[in-house]
């Protein structure tokens, strides 16, 4: 995702713009909302009701002691339904067992930015969630002190109670909630010292787990509305192709087929049931105008990247004079790495339920960009944004795919046309062939070494389509070598202390739609960096660990994760016969990760990954169990892209259609994953993505250790290992 | 359209559908049992796994006319209070992430342990490899199956 420079507030002074008190006219409760500078009166009616104490948009306290914490980010498996509430519960001294979770309605005024991505939920909410909890606690403390007519400093909060220390009296949060509702918001609140944390840092079970083991967790596809129809959209398989004609005679003869019509993204087929729509779809005869991309294929794309890479790109980093240093070097090592397009292939294909009425539009969708969806629905339907309701359901995986709402456009178009609610489903084949793919890329690297193996120069040219300047946002292409800093993420931030570094970016846009894929360009740049540093280590005749360490500042977060990973993996010790280790480290999304992969080469040159040791320094850990799960998750996702699936293009279309062609890691290939988390109180880093970038280079470096072959193109195929 | 009598989660249900309709869509659209998920439509990912007469079965490629009269169990009917040993183990290991594939994982694991309650790791791998999880919960699934197996052995 796009990274912004986010400055964490380090003071606890409350910003009037962020916290506005709202007293309801009935006196029944109190609400304080974030981002409510102008519309607080509207909010008073909606927030302060039912005798609840609602110290801010995220917390509602009920007299019966139950607490609802509202999560305004999308839960897509990464654990925000648990980790974000833990931060509030910590500062508010809540009884975690009384905390229930609800998904926030989509409302920018109340919740601020609700987009989910960039491993940013904890990082972007940490300070705000802590303050939200601390304000609630402070008001309850005041309520207790008032109630007993004692000084506030004699009171303390613990697990849902306010205690008066000298007398030993206590009152529950529920008992104090109405009193607290009448008090002023504190101007300043103290945040807890991390050494006093009793919730943050604990392996608390996920709040969504019980719903996800009995089928009751609700995904958008599970929504069932009265009078609802079922629809699919057939898209032109060739990117940029357009509809020429539809022959729907046969389709309309099928029982249950209700309608066939053209929409912006293709042809809609609507049925009274999913099966009727699917049968109708099969009977459709559609002729496409194949458009300008019908001859595009993977081969020509790679050739194009190669051609573009011959010329200098836009400079992203320049330290010293790399060109001169390479000329003066005793040895110049050069390598080119190539990576393919990758599909997200979330387990839940794209889908939504949409009900467009004359005065209201309701959407249920697994989206990472709900506010964008709301705005878009308003534009498409002509309804005011206040008449568009977006319900974010659980997401059956996101990985960046669901930052795009093209599937909601489909639902809107069909419901508007039919005048009925619609369940719009993408077949797996639609999902795989109409993704916003991780861009293919080419990386040209050169390194300069002196006779006594000093590393004097490093150059890295990234040649790739640009997400931010690409066709996706309809910017004119080609732009002239504009610097795409996102495409250089992880490349320009090379951590190694080499005196002469030059990193540049050469754009190479293609017809293939591209987007954010878990860890985005870090996934490609880390592969190039960490494979090439291994190549330099070999050229310098040094151990890959020692070589890296001598180029990293002592005691840096990178060197610390590397050292611990090496220790835990037994880097210096021997491996079981036939097994070889490879190493890598990479910083992304504010976290530092090192991995050691242990591989062997099996029958028919198949790479078997036996074990991955993973060390992460993500600063303050909120929930170690979730961090561990995210490391496992990223490693599995990364291994799929290292060893299995890739998206290839033929005749302007994606070749792969389903999981038999786009293979992903399965249980029988699952290595043992051993995660270690560095204890830290540093500002939290992200955890959803940083575990992914190091895995491909760790495996490739282990394959080199095993075979002496450098695999410079992913995924690693058995034929690459035939000597 | 034809009428089919089904035995779903211990209840008799009558549906009127095209005989080729996959069981998956009958469960989801007609019987309002959405816990069984659509993942691939071709029996490749396992998200749609249910039990047909105790056997783990891919409901997305099973025509309704072939299972009329059979005993069908979905995730909703695996236990009354989410207390099947596999579900208990799943909670104990905090397995799910996005959760979308988990109904299928749990149904596959439950049918597998029913046949083999003392599995080796290779048995688990072989039984579970037809169920894809893109969140990569495999390691915890392995642990949960081991835990459930122990429970089942102790219970015997």
Which of B20, B45, B135 should we substitute to test contact with A (largest number of A Cβ atoms within 10 Å)?
A: B135
Query: Is the CB of residue B98 less than 8 Å away from at least one CB of chain A?
Result: yes
Query: What residues of B are in contact with residue A78 (Cβ under 8 Å)?
Result: 97
**pLDDT, mean over chain A:** 91
Looking at residue A473, its pLDDT comes to 54
Task: Select from B36, B76, B134 the Cβ nearest to the Cβ of A397.
Answer: B134
Interior angle at CA A35, CA A32 and CA A37, nearest 5: 85
Looking at residue A54, its pLDDT comes to 84
Looking at residue A186, its pLDDT comes to 87
Q: What is the spatial distance between Cα B112 and Cα B146, in angstroms, rounded to a whole number? A: 12
Contact B140 A632 (CB under 8 A): yes
Query: CB neighbours of A191 closer than 8 A, spacing ≥ 6?
Result: A12, A91, A130, A131, A134
Looking at residue A574, its pLDDT comes to 87
Looking at residue A3, its pLDDT comes to 31
Q: Hey, is A10 helix, strand or coil?
A: coil
Tokens (6 digits) for A60: 């509602």
Looking at residue A52, its pLDDT comes to 78
Q: A361-365 and A388-392: which strand pairing?
A: parallel
C-beta atoms surrounding A241 within 10 Å: 19
Query: Is the CB of residue B7 less than 8 Å away from at least one CB of chain A?
Result: no
Q: Residue A715, preceding bond cis, omega within 30 degrees?
A: yes
Query: What residues of A are in contact with residue B23 (Cβ under 8 Å)?
Result: none
What is the count of residue pairs from A and B with beta carbons less than 8 Å apart? Answer: 190
**In the predicted model, what is the mean pLDDT of residues A251-270?**
97
Q: What is the pTM of this model?
A: 0.94
Task: Select from B1, B40, B96 the Cβ nearest to the Cβ of A212.
Answer: B96
Interior angle at CA A165, CA A159 and CA A167, nearest 5: 120
Question: Which parts of chain B register pLDDT below 50?
Answer: none
The conformational region for residue A489 under phi > 0 = left, psi -120 to 50 = alpha, else beta, is beta
Res. A592 pLDDT band, cuts 50 70 90 = very high
Contact A489, A317 (CB under 8 A): no
Taking only the tens place, the pLDDT of each residue in B61-78 is 999 999 999 999 999 999
The alpha-carbon radius of gyration of chain A (Å, integer) is 28
Contact A395 B98 (CB under 8 A): yes
Strand partners, A68: A60, A100
Query: What residues of B are in contact with residue A255 (Cβ under 8 Å)?
Result: 1, 18
Query: CB neighbours of A38 closer than 8 A, spacing ≥ 6?
Result: none
Looking at residue A227, its pLDDT comes to 97
Q: What is the spatial distance between Cα A557 and Cα A617, in angstroms, rounded to a whole number? A: 7
Is pLDDT at A576 greater than 80 in this prediction?
A: yes
**In the predicted model, what is the mean pLDDT of residues A638-659?**
97
Taking only the tens place, the pLDDT of each residue in A532-560 is 999 999 999 999 999 999 999 999 999 99
Separation of first and last alpha carbons in chain A: 39
Q: CATH 1.10.150.120: which residues of chain B?
A: 85-155
Query: CB neighbours of A7 closer than 8 A, spacing ≥ 6?
Result: none
Looking at residue A89, its pLDDT comes to 98
Is pLDDT at A34 greater than 80 in this prediction?
A: no
Contact B101, B132 (CB under 8 A): yes
C-beta atoms surrounding A115 within 10 Å: 18
Query: What residues of B are in contact with residue A637 (Cβ under 8 Å)?
Result: 134-136
Query: Is the CB of residue B90 less than 8 Å away from at least one CB of chain A?
Result: yes
Q: CATH 3.10.20.30: which residues of chain B?
A: 2-77
Tell me phi and psi for residue A350, to 5 degrees. -60, 140
Res. A187 pLDDT band, cuts 50 70 90 = confident
**Domains of chain A with bracketed CATH:** 20-205 (3.30.365.10), 220-291+350-425 (3.30.365.10), 298-341+437-721 (3.30.365.10)
The complex's ipTM works out to: 0.98
Query: What residues of B are in contact with residue A276 (Cβ under 8 Å)?
Result: 18
Looking at residue A676, its pLDDT comes to 98
Which of B9, B45, B139 should we substitute to test contact with A (largest number of A Cβ atoms within 10 Å)?
A: B139
Least confident of A228-232, A498-502, A528-532, A575-579: A575-579
CATH number of B85-155: 1.10.150.120, 1.10.760.10, 1.10.1040.10, 1.25.40.10?
1.10.150.120
C-beta atoms surrounding B132 within 10 Å: 26
Looking at residue B155, its pLDDT comes to 79
Res. A138 pLDDT band, cuts 50 70 90 = very high
- The DSSP output letter for A514 is B
Least confident of A2-11, A304-313, A314-323, B79-88: A2-11
Greatest alpha-carbon pair distance for chain B in Å reads 48
CA A10, A626, A119, A124 torsion-angle sign: negative
Give the rounded percent of residues in chain A with a pLDDT score beyond 90: 85
- Tell me the shortest Cα–Cα distance from A137 to chain B, in angstroms: 30
Strand partners, A507: A464
For the domain spanning B2-77, the CATH number is 3.10.20.30
Q: Residue A478, preceding bond cis, omega within 30 degrees?
A: yes
Res. A10 pLDDT band, cuts 50 70 90 = very low
Q: How far is CA A39 from the centre of its chain?
A: 32
Q: What is the spatial distance between Cα A470 and Cα A672, in angstroms, rounded to a whole number? A: 39
Between residues A672 and A470, which one has the greater pLDDT? Answer: A672
**In the predicted model, what is the mean pLDDT of residues A387-416?**
98
What is the side-by-side order of every strand in the sheet holding A229-234?
A: A257-263, A266-271, A229-234, A422-425, A351-356, A361-365, A388-392
Taking only the tens place, the pLDDT of each residue in A85-108 is 999 999 999 999 999 999 999 999
Residues 43 through 62 of chain B touching chain A, CB cutoff 8 Å: 44-45, 47
Q: A67-71 and A99-103: which strand pairing?
A: parallel
Is pLDDT at A333 greater than 70 in this prediction?
A: yes
Strand partners, A287: A245
Between residues A482 and A312, which one has the greater pLDDT? Answer: A312
Contact A230 B44 (CB under 8 A): no
Tokens (6 digits) for A334: 């050069």
């Amino acid at each position: 995702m796009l990274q912004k420079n986010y400055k964490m507030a380090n003071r606890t002074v409350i910003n009037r713009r962020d916290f506005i008190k709202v007293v309801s006219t009935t006196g029944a409760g109190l609400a304080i909302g974030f981002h409510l500078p102008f519309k607080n009166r509207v909010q008073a009616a909606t927030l302060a009701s039912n005798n609840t104490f609602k110290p801010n948009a995220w917390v509602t306290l009920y007299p019966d002691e139950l607490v609802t914490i509202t999560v305004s980010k999308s839960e897509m498996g990464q654990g925000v339904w648990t980790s974000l509430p833990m931060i509030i519960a910590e500062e508010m001294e809540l009884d975690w067992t009384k905390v229930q979770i609800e998904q926030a309605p989509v409302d920018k005024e109340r919740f601020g930015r609700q987009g989910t991505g960039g491993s940013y939920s904890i990082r972007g909410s940490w300070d705000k969630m802590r303050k939200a909890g601390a304000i609630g606690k402070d008001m309850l403390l005041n309520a207790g002190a008032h109630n007993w007519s004692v000084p506030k400093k004699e009171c303390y909060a613990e697990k849902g109670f306010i205690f008066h220390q000298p007398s030993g009296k206590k009152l529950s949060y529920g008992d104090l909630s109405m009193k607290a509702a009448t008090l002023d918001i504190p101007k300043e609140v103290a945040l807890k010292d991390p050494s006093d944390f009793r919730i943050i840092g604990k392996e608390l079970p996920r709040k969504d787990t019980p719903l996800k083991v009995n089928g009751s967790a609700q995904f958008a596809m599970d929504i069932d509305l009265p009078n609802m129809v079922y629809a699919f959209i057939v898209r032109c398989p060739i990117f940029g192709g357009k509809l020429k004609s539809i022959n729907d005679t046969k389709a309309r003869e099928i029982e249950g087929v209700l309608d066939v019509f053209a929409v912006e993204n293709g042809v809609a087929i609507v049925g009274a049931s999913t099966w009727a729509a699917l049968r109708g779809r099969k009977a459709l005869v559609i002729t496409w105008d194949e458009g300008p991309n019908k001859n595009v294929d993977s081969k020509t794309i790679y050739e194009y990247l190669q051609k573009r890479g011959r010329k200098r790109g836009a400079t992203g980093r320049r330290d010293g004079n790399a060109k001169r240093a390479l000329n003066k070097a005793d040895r110049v090592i050069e390598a080119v790495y190539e990576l393919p397009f990758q599909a997200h292939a979330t387990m839940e294909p794209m889908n939504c339920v949409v009900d467009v009425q004359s005065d209201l539009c309701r959407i249920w969708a697994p989206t990472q960009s709900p506010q964008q969806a709301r705005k878009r629905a308003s534009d498409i339907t002509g309804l005011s944004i206040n008449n568009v309701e977006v319900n974010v359901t659980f997401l059956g995986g996101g990985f960046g795919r669901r930052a795009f709402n093209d599937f909601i456009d489909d639902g809107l178009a069909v419901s508007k046309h039919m005048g009925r609610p619609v369940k719009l489903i993408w077949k797996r084949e639609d999902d795989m062939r109409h993704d916003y793919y991780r861009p293919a890329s080419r990386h040209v690297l050169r390194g300069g070494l002196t006779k006594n193996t000093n590393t004097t120069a490093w150059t890295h040219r990234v040649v790739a389509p640009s997400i931010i300047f690409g066709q996706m946002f309809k910017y004119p292409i080609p732009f002239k070598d504009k610097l795409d800093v996102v495409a250089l993420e992880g490349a320009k931030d090379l951590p190694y202390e080499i005196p002469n570094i030059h990193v540049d970016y050469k754009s190479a846009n293609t017809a293939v739609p591209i987007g954010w894929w878990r860890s985005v360009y870090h996934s490609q740049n880390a592969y190039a960096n960490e494979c090439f540093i291994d190549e330099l280590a070999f050229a310098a005749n040094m151990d890959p660990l020692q070589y890296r360490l001598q180029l990293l500042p002592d005691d840096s977060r990178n060197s610390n994760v590397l050292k611990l990973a090496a220790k835990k993996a037994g880097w210096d010790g021997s491996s079981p016969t036939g097994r070889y280790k490879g190493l890598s480290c990479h910083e992304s999304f504010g976290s530092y990760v090192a991995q050691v992969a242990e591989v062997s080469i099996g029958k028919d040159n198949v790479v078997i990954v036996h074990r991955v040791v993973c060390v992460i320094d993500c600063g303050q850990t909120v929930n170690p169990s979730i961090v561990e799960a995210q490391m496992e998750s990223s490693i599995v996702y990364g291994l799929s892209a290292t060893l299995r699936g890739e998206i290839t293009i033929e005749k302007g279309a994606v070749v792969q259609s389903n999981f038999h062609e786009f293979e992903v890691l399965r249980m029988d290939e699952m290595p043992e994953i051993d995660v270690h988390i560095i204890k830290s109180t540093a500002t939290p880093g992200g955890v959803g993505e940083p575990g992914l970038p190091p895995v491909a280079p760790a495996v490739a470096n282990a394959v080199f250790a095993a075979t002496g072959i450098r695999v410079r193109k992913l995924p690693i195929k058995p034929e690459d290992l035939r000597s | 359209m034809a009428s089919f009598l089904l035995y779903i989660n211990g209840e008799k249900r009558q549906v009127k559908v095209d005989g080729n309709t996959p069981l998956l869509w009958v469960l989801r659209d007609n019987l309002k049992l959405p816990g069984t998920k659509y993942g691939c439509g071709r029996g490749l990912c396992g998200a749609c796994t249910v039990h047909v007469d105790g056997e783990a079965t891919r409901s997305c490629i099973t025509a309704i006319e072939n299972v009329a009269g059979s005993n069908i169990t979905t995730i909703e009917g695996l236990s009354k209070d989410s207390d099947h040993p596999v579900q208990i183990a799943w909670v104990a290991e905090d397995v799910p992430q996005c959760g979308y594939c988990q109904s299928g994982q749990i149904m596959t694991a439950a049918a597998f342990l029913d046949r083999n309650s003392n599995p080796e790791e290779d048995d688990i791998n072989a039984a579970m490899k037809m169920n894809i999880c893109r969140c990569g919960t495999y390691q915890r699934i392995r642990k949960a199956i081991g835990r459930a197996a122990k429970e089942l052995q102790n219970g015997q």
